[in-house]
C-alpha cells in the first residue's frame, strides 16, 4: 500500500542501523533469526521475474491489473461482497477455524475514483473509502500482487482445514471500503484476519513490515480487546515470513523489528477480531520489486504468512 493512500499517514520514516535491526529482530522473532542471517549472507533470495528500477514508471491509478466489471455503482446501492467462502478440508489442525484474507485494493478501483474517494467513518476520524494502491516501476500493481498472494494463502489454509473468506476477489467493481473490510471480518467471526499489501515507499527502502493495531477507543472504534492477540498474530507472521522468504524487516520503518503499531487505519480500528496488515515489500525499490514480481517468491510469502496464522491459531 502506498503511504500516499487514505488509510496510511505514517510517522516520518527513519533508517536504522543494521546492528540494531538484528538485535530487535532476535528479541521479537527469535525463531526466524536463521532466515535473517541467511538474508544477510546471500543478500536475500533472487529467483527471477523482477523489474529494473530504471524502467519507466507506471502509475497504479492508470494501469489495471486485470479486466474487471466496468460502470459506476450507485452510492445508494451497496456493492455486494459476493466473495467465495472456501470449502475446507474434511479434517486438519484448523478445522472449525475461520480466516479472513483481505487483499489490499481492488483492481477496478482506478475506474471508480469518485466512489473510492468518498469519506467513511473509521472511528477516530473520517478517511477516503480506499485507494488504487501502488505499483512497481514497470506497472505490476499492488492490487494484482495482493490477489495472487491471497489465492495462494487460501489454498494453503484450506489444506489445513480452515474456512477461508476473501474480502474481495476482483468480483466487484471497486472496494470494499476500509470500514466494510473490517466489517466482513467481524461478521465472519474470524479467528484471524490478515490484510495483504505491498508498500510504495522511496527507492532504496527495503524489507517487509507487519502493522499491528494500537489501543483505540473513539467513536465506533474500540480495539482494546484485540491489541494483545493481534500482536501475538503479528509476531508469529513476522517470524515465519523471515524464516520462509529470507527477507529482512524494513530498514526504513519499525526500528528494524518488522513490527509497526498504528492507530490511524480504519481496517484495524474497526476490527473486533485479531487482525494485522502485512506490507510484503517495497514496490518502488528495484530489488524488492524483483521479489514481488516473482511467482516463486510470492509462494514463499504466502507460505510464511500462512504458517504464522497456523501458529497463532494452534497456540
Catalytic residue among 142, 158, 279, 307: 279
* SS3 label, residue 239: helix
68-77, 83-92, 209-218: range with highest mean pLDDT: 209-218
> Catalytic residue at 279?
yes
- Enter the pTM of the model: 0.77
Q: How large is the angle between the packed helices 33-42 and 18-28, nearest 10 degrees?
A: 150
Classified by CATH at the fold level, domain 18-45+84-314 comes out as Aminopeptidase (3.40.630)
**Cell numbers standing for residue 102:** 483481505
Mean pLDDT across 217-228? 98
- Residues whose CB falls within 8 Å of the CB of residue 70, separated by 6 or more in sequence, listed in order: 108, 111, 173
* SS3 label, residue 185: helix
The pLDDT tens digits for 95-148 are 999 999 999 999 999 999 999 999 999 999 999 999 999 999 999 999 999 999
Amino acid at each position: 500500500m502506498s503511504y500516499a493512500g487514505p488509510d496510511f499517514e505514517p510517522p516520518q520514516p527513519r533508517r536504522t542501523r543494521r546492528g540494531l535491526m538484528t538485535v530487535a529482530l532476535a528479541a521479537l522473532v527469535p525463531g526466524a533469526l536463521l532466515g535473517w542471517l541467511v538474508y544477510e549472507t546471500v543478500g536475500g533470495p533472487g529467483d527471477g521475474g523482477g523489474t529494473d528500477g530504471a524502467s519507466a514508471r507506471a502509475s497504479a491509478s492508470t494501469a489495471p491489473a486485470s479486466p474487471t466489471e466496468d460502470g459506476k455503482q450507485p452510492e445508494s446501492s451497496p456493492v455486494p461482497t459476493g466473495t467465495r467462502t472456501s470449502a475446507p478440508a474434511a479434517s486438519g489442525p484448523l478445522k472449525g477455524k475461520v480466516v479472513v484474507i483481505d487483499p489490499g485494493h481492488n483492481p477496478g478501483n482506478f475506474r471508480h475514483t469518485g466512489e473510492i474517494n468518498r469519506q467513511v467513518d473509521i472511528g477516530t476520524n473520517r478517511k477516503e473509502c480506499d485507494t488504487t494502491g501502488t505499483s512497481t516501476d514497470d506497472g505490476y500493481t499492488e492490487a494484482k500482487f495482493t490477489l495472487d498472494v491471497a489465492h495462494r494463502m487460501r489454498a494453503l489454509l484450506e489444506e489445513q482445514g480452515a474456512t477461508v473468506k476473501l474480502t474481495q476477489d476482483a468480483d466487484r467493481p471497486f472496494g470494499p471500503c476500509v470500514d466494510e473490510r473490517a466489517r466482513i471480518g467481524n461478521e465472519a467471526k474470524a479467528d484471524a484476519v490478515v490484510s495483504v499489501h505491498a508498500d510504495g515507499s522511496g527507492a532504496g527502502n527495503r524489507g517487509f513490515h507487519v502493522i499491528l493495531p494500537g489501543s483505540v477507543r473513539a467513536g465506533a472504534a474500540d480495539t482494546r480487546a484485540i491489541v494483545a492477540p493481534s500482536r501475538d498474530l503479528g509476531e508469529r507472521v513476522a517470524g515465519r515470513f523471515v524464516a520462509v522468504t529470507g527477507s529482512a524487516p524494513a530498514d526504513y520503518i519499525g526500528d528494524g523489528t518488522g513490527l509497526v503499531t498504528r492507530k490511524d487505519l480504519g481496517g484495524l480500528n474497526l476490527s473486533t477480531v485479531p487482525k494485522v496488515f502485512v506490507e510484503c515489500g517495497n514496490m518502488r525499490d528495484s530489488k524488492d520489486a524483483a521479489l514481488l514480481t516473482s511467482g516463486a517468491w510470492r509462494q514463499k510469502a504466502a507460505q510464511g504468512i500462512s504458517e504464522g496464522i497456523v501458529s497463532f491459531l494452534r497456540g
